A and B are shown apart, each in its own frame.
Chain A
Amino acid sequence: MDLSSQILQYVISGITNGAIYAVIALGFTIIYNSTEVINFAQGEFVMLGGMAVIWLDGISPLPLGFSFLLAVLAVTLVGIALERFTIRPAKSSNPIALIIITVGASIFLRGVAMMFWGKDSLGLRPFTGSTPIHFGGATLIPQSLWVLGVAVVVMAGLQFFYKRTITGKAMRACAFNRRAAGLVGIGVNRMVSVSFALSAAIGAAAGIVIVPITLCGYDVGIMLGLKGFCAAVLGGLGSSLGSILGGFLLGVLEALGAGLISSGFKDAIAFFVLLLVLFIRPSGLLGAKEVKRF
């Protein structure tokens, strides 16, 4: 395999991972915009989605699509419960307290998953076939297309939701100014619930489509969540388009770095990019100029 097809191969795998990072980053953005909370348990939604679908597929004779929906639904409920029982009672806007609360929630969810499903990493069959597709000297597994497809559906769906539905518009109003939104009769608390539900649902979807490629264990959430956050910061915290851009960029950079420099330092690359962005341009690629929300 010559260098150009090798690079093409890295870019393909980078885009696949990048799609997942982008969806996780969108999850961060949804919650951040409605509550100004960074939800460090975001990665656990991804893990729970993956684990739930493996478990459901194992115990039920139902088609995979059904397990998919059921897993998303279950994780959505977890997301709503998380907000209702941890963020809301805290009534705090102190970032340090909120960081620790969501980190605690993340450890708790991870522990419950470990008790329930054990410590082994589990896999799942690909959604449709496993015959690789060849082009330009590189190969593409069909599951990658599923990942990209689901990511695009999630992104387009969110866009439609925000721009065309009344609930979506109400959420945008909350993101813009919570008090003003409350004054015109929008139930701010309900919108916050919806944002956690939405964020959990898309996180779970991301976790489910990636399982056939990467395996899933109780401890994968933390790294995926942090990478998603890197992507969100890279694109500009609070910007949906930035999250998507940041996700793909991070995925490709990481894949190229892992392939061309060293695979052991793959995870370090993401965080190195994060530090560079934070030190040079903390507002990210597409964020507002000033970083002073806190």
Chain B
Amino acid sequence: MIRFLKYKWFQVGGFGLLLALVPLVVTNRYYLTVMIFIGIHTLLVVGLNLLMGYAGQISLGHAAFFGLGAYTSGILTATYKLSPWPAMVMAVVLTVVVALMVGVPALKLTGYYLAMATLGFGIIVYICFKELVWLTGGPSGLVGIPRLSIGNMVLDEPRTYFYLVWGITLGAIAVSLNIVDSRVGRALRAIHDSEPAARASGIYTARLKIWVFVVSAIYASVAGSLYAHFITFISPSSFDFMFSIKLVTMVVVGGMASIWGAVFGAATLTMLPEVLAVFHDFDIVIFGLILMVVLIFMPQGLTRGALDLWEKYRFRRGIAEGPI
């Protein structure tokens, strides 16, 4: 049994089965809605984790790709009456073009410089959402985004949308697990450890970094489209700098370079504001505190940090019991 847990398809299948049961047990619309948001955030965080956790390239502007997906879907369907699925594809195409335009020059930078370049990009996109009133509706937002439908079935119930969102997210998780396990995944980790060494061993680092940047942007764009069609109303404030930071926090809390950690991080930080809502305005303070404390004491993230503690404990116990 335990041995099976090591197979990634078993993990994905088991997780999928568990999720499939959720809407049968949970009927409360509010809980389902929160879980749909967890799904959307997981999709974003899994993508960002490929970039940050595996390739070691930080992005402080990922909300921009999420917003590009949401706004392209929203504008094409609400204003130009296009049907949602082709609009979603067009959103992905647009996001890829933008990601290439930004990624090609930006990924030549490292460390703080890359962080600032992506941050600047994120803020510029946010300001465009806010100021291009004729296109985006400006600060008051874009209304009347239609629901998604499959065939004749309109997905207007949280229960059906839950299956759609988690189906796509699960697919993305499977793809990511495959990427991570492949030659490309190993190359990405090599870049993380040392870029010159990766280059010396024949990895085309520049192209690979751009490739993973684009992949994570695609994830974010699809998440954005799903988000827009779910809440049917979008405004710039959902795609601001703070949201980019929240995504980074989810990656960090979940643990760098861990796909399942991303699920954990997204779930924890999506539920946290709901739980902390009882504290009203305190939640932002607690949020900042969590960010600091986790990073100070467990720089590899909460899951990795907890695992390290566990291994340390086992190691100590092993010594106490003498040689095996």
B186 to nearest A CB, angstroms? 21
Output the residue of A95, A96, A99 with the most chain B CB within 10 A.
A96
Whether the Cβ atoms of B296 and A108 lie closer than 8 Å is no
Least CB distance from B60 to A in Å reads 8
Q: Across the interface, do B113 and A282 meet the contact criterion of CB distance under 8 Å? A: yes
Given contacts A105-B292, A278-B117, contact A111 B285 (CB under 8 A): yes
Against B, the Cβ 8 Å flags (1 = close, 0 = not) of A255-294 are 0000000101101100110110011001000000001111
The closest CB in chain A to the CB of B121 belongs to: A275
Interface size class of A (residues with CB under 8 A): 35 or more
State the Cβ distance, A33 to closest chain B Cβ, in Å.
Answer: 13
- The 8 Å CB contact of B124, one of A38, A100, A271, is A271
Q: Counting CB contacts under 8 A, is A63 at the interface?
A: no
Check B299 against A95 for contact (C-beta < 8 Å): no
Complex Cα distance A97/B299, Å? Answer: 6
Q: Assess whether B58 is in contact with A265, with CB atoms less than 8 Å apart.
A: no
User: Chain A 45-70 against B: per-residue CB contact (8 Å), 1 yes, 0 no?
Assistant: 00000000000000000000000000
- Whether B113 lies near A100 (C-beta < 8 A) is no
| B104 (CB) vs chain A CBs: closest residue | A279
Q: Give the contact-size bracket for chain B.
A: 35 or more
Interface of B is mostly: helix
Question: Known interface pairs A103-B245, A106-B288, A111-B288. Does A279 touch B105 (Cβ–Cβ under 8 Å)?
Answer: yes
Bound together, the chains give a CA A103 to CA B106 distance in angstroms of 21
Cβ proximity bits B55-79 to A, threshold 8 Å, 1 near / 0 not: 0101010000000000000000000
Q: For residue A92, which residue of chain B has the nearest CB? A: B299
Check if B221 is an interface residue, CB within 8 A of chain A.
Answer: no
- Ranked 4 nearest A-B pairs via Cβ: A104-B291, A108-B288, A294-B111, A107-B288
Query: Which B residues are closer than 8 A to A by beta carbons?
Result: 52, 56, 58, 60, 105-106, 109-113, 115-117, 119-121, 123-124, 127-128, 130-131, 241, 245, 248-249, 252, 281-282, 284-292, 295-297, 299
A sample of 24 inter-chain contacts (CB < 8 A) reads A38-B112, A86-B296, A92-B299, A95-B115, A96-B115, A100-B249, A105-B288, A105-B292, A107-B284, A107-B291, A108-B285, A109-B288, A111-B284, A111-B286, A111-B287, A226-B119, A230-B120, A264-B127, A274-B116, A274-B120, A275-B124, A279-B106, A282-B109, A291-B109
